Amino acid sequence: MNFFNVMLLQDAPGGGLGMSMLPIVLIFAIMYFLIFRPQAKKQKKHQAMISAVQKGDRVVTAGGIHGTVAGVKEKENTLIVKIDDNVKVELSRSSIARKLD
């Protein structure tokens, strides 16, 4: 028998293999509910916000630039953002951090 078979067949102190795996399973469950699930919800909400951006919306980019959406290029998945008079920048939709009300 190899080492792993011997370890599985032996009685572990405290109730066997199932009881020794319980803390690890609990740690992963806690991590899922406290870290992974809220992060996935936040990312889904952000994606919905990005897809809803349209012409005339005020936005803030990930770099902190404030501007107004002057145009949308659906094929290239980009936005034309007006920063100031005669200053327009073409940005990827993913660079939008938030939409201002």
pLDDT in tens, 23-35: 898 999 999 999 9
CA 32/CA 18 separation, integer angstroms = 21
More confident residue, 34 or 20: 34
Domains and CATH numbers, the chain: 14-100 (2.30.30.140)
Q: How confident is the model at residue 21 (pLDDT cuts 50, 70, 90)?
A: confident
Average pLDDT value for residue range 66-75: 95
Task: Report yes or no: 88 and 80 within 8 Å, Cβ to Cβ.
Answer: yes
Q: Extract the tokens encoding 19.
A: 């009881």
pLDDT at 18: 67
Q: How confident is the model at residue 47 (pLDDT cuts 50, 70, 90)?
A: very high
Q: What is the pLDDT of residue 15?
A: 55
